[in-house]
Every structure is written in C-alpha cells, then in structure tokens.
A and B are shown apart, each in its own frame.
Chain A
Amino acid sequence: MGDGRLEIDHISKRYGDVVALRDTTFDVRAGELFGFVGSNGAGKTTTMRIALGVLAADSGEVRWDGERITLETRRHIGYMPEERGLYPKMKVGEQLIYLARMHGLSTKDARRSMVDWTERLGVAHRQGDDVQNLSLGNQQRVQLAAALVHNPSILVLDEPFSGLDPIAVDVMSKVLQDKAADGIPVVFSSHQLELVERLCHRVGIIRGGEMVAIGEVDELRSGGSVELVVVAPNATDGWASGLTGVTVREQTGGRTVLELGDGANDQAVLHAALATGPVTEFSRRRPSLTELYREVVTQETEDAA
C-alpha cells in the first residue's frame, strides 16, 4: 500500500462472443519500466484502455498506490493511445497547453510545461504550427509531449516507438528511462523486442487475452531452454547426434547450434566437438526475448492445433 505501484488485477473483458481479456493480472512498480508484448489482437490495447478508464472492464480492477483508480487519479496518468490522437487543425503549443489544463494544471504551469517538453523533445520550433502540418515523426513527438505535459505520476504508452526514426527512438528511450528514474511506473507496449529487452526491467507477454509470461528479462530467458553454439570447422554432419539430451537446431558449415535438454552435459558436447578437430568457439546462449516470444506464439498455434 502506498508504494506507487500500478496494479492490473484480474481484468476480464468480452466483446460479444470474443474474449478480449481473461483474468489479466500484472503490476508495474514505481520506478520500473515494464514492457508489454504480445501479437496483434492479444489484448494490449484493451488492457491499456481499461487502465485509462476509456473502456470499462467486465470484472477486475485497476489500482494505483493501493487505491482503485478513479477519474481523479486518472488525471495522474500520461497516456499515449495506439491510434494517435490530436486535433489536426490546432497549433502544437495551444494543444499541449489545453491538454495540460484538462489534467488540472493552471494556465501558467501548463504553458511552462509545454515549453519544457517541446524543447526536450525537439519540437519547440513547431509550437505555432498546426499539428497536421508536422511530419509523422514530429507528430509522434508531440503525442509523447501530450502524454507528459501534465507531469504524470504514471505513464501508459501504447506502441510509443512505432514509426520513429532511430534518433527519435533514442530520445523516446531516454525520456522513458528518466521518467522511471523519477520513481514512477512506466508501462509501454511494443513489437520492437530488442528495444524492450534493452530498456525494460520487466516484461509481460500476453497471448489471447492472458498473461503467459511475466518477469525480469533475464529471469524469463533463464526459464527458456539453454543453447550451445559450437564452431568447429572440421566437424561433419551428425557429429553431435549421438549425445544424450542434445538436439541439433541448426548446422551451417562448421557452426552448430544445439539445444540442451534436461540432464544433458555440455562438457560431453565439448569433448565430442574437440574430437572432430579444433574448436574456435564454444558458448552458452540464452534465448533472446524475440526467441522467447516466438516460442510462446508457437505454443499458441500448437495449442490451437
């Protein structure tokens, strides 16, 4: 209680016969960057919309700092909807001030905050332009400014990195890290898994409306199977086939990727490799988030079959 956590607690939502969310539960701790991944239609946007109150859940609740979220506390949330939303024919500066005031800031504070954020996000020189006249990348920066302009205590961003150029990605990453460092919970969804892996403290993977994996990136990775990469230039096909608990994933030239099952001995693999001749590389590899994700998605299709 009173720890500044954002808790999504057993949220369920149906659209007619389609179950969008089934008992979705996770939390985002204060000062934490939480990555929310899942395929299209898995329920990420629905979850975020429910957290923001723009959609009502069928059951379950969203809490912040131990208290159920109300319209008042929602004003503490900085939100970036998946479908970008700004008035196309309104000037950038005025629009940000308006949105800040909608969240309860005074005109003076709103103006100061607008100036701060447009400078920080590199769109200060476009303050007097209509949003529709900005490039997509700049519109995205303004959209982020709109999520931040009221100095939120929680950040919920739906696909904040989509459509950004590499420089903008860096700016966005920095801002998110800074906000988390300020001690607020930050949750964002993304399909750019390398980015999620690099930025986030914890990750949640959602599939078919259910959270299927949740935890620190390292923790999740260690839960997956262990792989060995062996480079032995003189090795012939099938050199490792006799080893117990070892599956050959791929073999190209002298490079072999093996998966170690339960009870498999990596030292036995090394011996076998050395028996073929020189070994120039021998390493343990943890699956990347991308591979982990793929595993989860594959499981889904297997389940369906």
Chain B
Amino acid sequence: MTTPDVRLGSWEAVRLVASREVTTKMRSKAFIITTVATLVLLVGFALVMKFVGGGSDATVGVTPQTSALAGPLKATAGQIGQNIETKTVDEKAGRAQVADGTLDALVVSDGGAGGKLRVVVKKDLDGNLQDALTVLAGQIVLNREIASLPGGDPAAVQSSVANASVDVEPLEKPYPYQSGQLVLGIVAGILIYMSLLLNGQMVAQGVVEEKSSRVVELLLATIRPWQLMAGKVLGIGFVGLVQMVVIGGVGIAAALGLDVLSISTSAAVGTVVWLVVWYLLGFIMYSLVFAALAALVSRQEDVGGVITPALMFVIVGYVIGISVLPSDPGNALAEVLSVIPVFAPTLMPMRLAMGGVPVWEAVVSVGLVLALIPALVWLSGRIYANAVMRSGAKVKLRDALRTA
C-alpha cells in the first residue's frame, strides 16, 4: 500500500479553489456574454458620442442677403459657449434643408428695418441657439444706434465692451470640472457598480451552489472553511479584475482613439487605476459579506433575499452618485458618503474620475476600507464556517455568530 504525499499548504488549497473558480467562470457563457456586451456597448457609446457630440452644436444657414451675419453669429455663439457652423445657401434650398434636418435654422432677410432677425426652423428653436440669435439681434440694433450717433464707432464700443469683465477673487479655488471628465466619472460609476453587483452575486451563488449540492461536505473534509471562502472570493475577484481592466482599457482606448473625450491620457489612465483599486477594495469588502450571508441559506432561490440588505449599500451609493454627481460634482452629501466605507466603492471612483477630490479624502476613504477588511474577514469567516454545513432551513445570523 502506498501512502501518497498529501501535504497541501494553506495557500496552495486557496489557490486550487481560486483556480477552479477562474476556469469555471472564464468558460461560462454568462461571463463571456456580459463582457462582450459591455465592450460593444462602450465602444458603441463612444462612436455615438463622436457622431452626435463631435464637431458643431448646431448648423445655421444664412442666405446671400444675411451672409454678413455669419461671422457675428459665430462670435456671439462662441461667447455663450456654443459652437455654431454656418452655411450660405439661397433661401429656397435653405428652407428645404431645414425641413430635412440638415440645417438647424436658417436666418433669412426680414426686409424691414426693425432690427429683427427672421429665423426659419423646423418646429422650434433650440434654447442655446435662440440665446445666441437674441444676443446677435440686440447687437445689430446696438451697432445701428451707435453708428447713428455723431462720432459713433461701433467697433470701438465693441472692443471696450469686450474688455469690460468681472474679476473674480475666489477664497477657495474651485475645481474646474470638465465635461469629458464628468462623462468619464459616469462611465466609471456604471462599470464599478455592474462589476460589484455581478461578481458579488456570483460569490453568493457559488457559496450556495456548494451548499445545495452538498459538495461542501466533501471539500471541508480536506480543507478548512476559510480556505474555501478565500479561494472563492479571490478567484471570482481575479476574473472580475481582468474583466474590469479589459473593459476599462478598451473603453478608454476607444474614447481617446476616437477623440470623443477631451481629457489627457494621464487623467484617463488615472481613472482606470483608481477604478481597479476601488473595484478590488469594494469587491473584497462586499463579497466577504455576501459569502457569509449566502452561507446561511441552502437554496439558490433564497440567495436574493438574504443578500439584499448588503446589496442595498452598493445600490444606494451608485444611485446617489449617478443622479447627483453629473450635475453637481461637488455635492456635499456625495462627498461625505464617498468617505464612508460601505458607500465608498461606488461613489469614490466616480468622484475621482470627475476630478477635484482632495488628496486627504482619497487617502482616508481607502484607509477606512482597508481597516474594515480584516474585521470583515474575521466576522464573515466565523459566520461562514458555522453556517455552511447546516443545510435545510435558513440559519439565523445570531446562531451563526454565536456557535463556535
């Protein structure tokens, strides 16, 4: 009789469990489909942004009679942050182009001298364009009035007016949020939310799969509960990480390559790095909790119910972030919550991608999560070890904590 060498180091056992999770998950259809679908969506989003958002905000037609207005219109629009393209067409063709949507508006000669601009639009005038045109109309009237005054020189007045400005002296330097970074923050938020949600649930389902199929009894006869739990969390976490890096990398590459996001490469890379850091922190934190909670039940149908309370933290953080931050990146509520460990993994990466996060906040939020993890490891390990072998009815959380 030969006795095989059966020494198996602790971490070797963890690695073995983890590598099974990795191979099983990498091969699963659900995983491949979500990854590919996310990539397609992201690249598609970048392409759509390019066609919709790229170039000018509006195209305005001018007739030969009004073509003199093309220059002033562009300049006026520029002052209110609108990028307008102009095109000289005859009135008939212009009206046709407005009808088919090629032109957003057509400025036609009014004939009268009331200083009014007549604008042909399909249905109604875009608010920004209306503002630009209203300012322009006022400008024309003003110029005419100045010219009628003795010695009046519209150009000189114009330049004086242009030079008049408000000098702002901020006590606290505000962060110049850029629209490109806001978009980046939204995308980062969606990515990390989906990753945490999907991979976290994957851990919970994996725990229950082992429990409901009773394979856990066979496994625990040879390895310790914590090794099984750690292997599962690390294995699924690793797959999620690869997924996140691939999706984040491809997304950023697509955005920069198509020139959709007007941000620096360093900001883009920084976002991906933060995304990875926060994914890891968030995943470890949440999945430990999910694993412990899932160990309380014995059927897949019960997984949802038992992990929902913990899942709410992920969802609440994300919902607050996605609904508040894009319009108000400096929101005080989001700022406070993003430092609290249970909400930080969804909120902080969004804020970091949008920029303007003080260094101390970033450090404190990471530090708090890092401090919380050992406590969660201990607590979850205890609940898991006590509950995972008890099949049948749901194990009460109190019982799982108490029994040694």
Contacts and interface: CB of A to CB of B under 8 A. Distances in A.
Contacts of A60: none
A151 B220 CA distance: 18
Nearest to A105: B4
A146 B220 CA distance: 14
Interface stretch (B5-13, B237-245, B311-319): B5-13
Contacts of B220: 53-54
B215 A102 contact: no
A49 B3 CA distance: 23
Contacts of A87: 209-210, 213, 215
A101 B222 CA distance: 10
A104 B5 contact: yes
Interface string B206-222: 00011001111111111
Contact of A183 (B1, B213, B219, B223): B1
B217 A81 contact: yes
A109 interface: yes
Nearest to B228: A102
A79 interface: yes
B4 to A, nearest CB: 5
A79 B215 CA distance: 11
Overall SS of chain B's interface: loop
Contact of B221 (A52, A72, A89, A105): A52
B262 interface: no
Contacts of B218: 79, 81, 85-86, 99, 146
Contact of A102 (B3, B4, B16, B209): B16
A97 B297 CA distance: 28
Contacts of A71: 222-224
Contacts of A101: 16
A55 B59 CA distance: 76
Given A76-B6, A98-B20, A102-B8, A83 B217 contact: yes
Nearest to B4: A151
A150 interface: yes
B232 to A, nearest CB: 12
B159 interface: no
Interface string B1-40: 1111111100001001000100010000000000000000
Q: Of residues B24, B209, B216, B218, which shows the largest number of chain A Cβ atoms within 10 Å of its Cβ?
A: B218
Contacts of B215: 85-87
Interface size class of A (residues with CB under 8 A): 35 or more
A104 B7 contact: yes
A53 to B, nearest CB: 6
A81 B214 contact: yes
Given A77-B221, A153-B1, A55 B214 contact: no
Contacts of B214: 81, 83-85
A72 B213 CA distance: 25
Nearest to A76: B6
Interface in A160-193: 182-184
B389 interface: yes
Contacts of A207: none
Given A54-B221, A86-B215, A102 B389 contact: no
Contacts of A195: none
Contacts of B8: 75, 102-104
A278 interface: no
A74 interface: yes
B6 A104 contact: yes
A72 B222 CA distance: 8
Contacts of B16: 98, 101-102
Interface string A8-39: 00000000000000000000000000000000
Nearest to A54: B220
Nearest to A31: B1
Nearest to A101: B16
Given A55-B389, A72-B6, A102 B1 contact: no
Contacts of B20: 98
A268 interface: no
A94 to B, nearest CB: 8
Given A54-B217, A87-B213, A151-B2, 4 more contacts: A54-B220, A81-B214, A81-B217, A85-B215
27 contacts: A53-B221, A71-B222, A71-B223, A72-B7, A75-B6, A77-B221, A79-B218, A79-B221, A83-B214, A84-B214, A86-B215, A86-B218, A87-B213, A89-B24, A98-B20, A101-B16, A102-B13, A102-B219, A102-B223, A105-B6, A146-B218, A151-B4, A153-B1, A153-B3, A182-B1, A183-B1, A184-B1
The 10 closest A-B pairs by CB, nearest first: A85-B214, A104-B6, A75-B6, A85-B215, A83-B214, A52-B221, A104-B8, A81-B217, A85-B218, A54-B220
Interface of B: 1-8, 13, 16, 20, 24, 209-210, 213-224, 389, 391
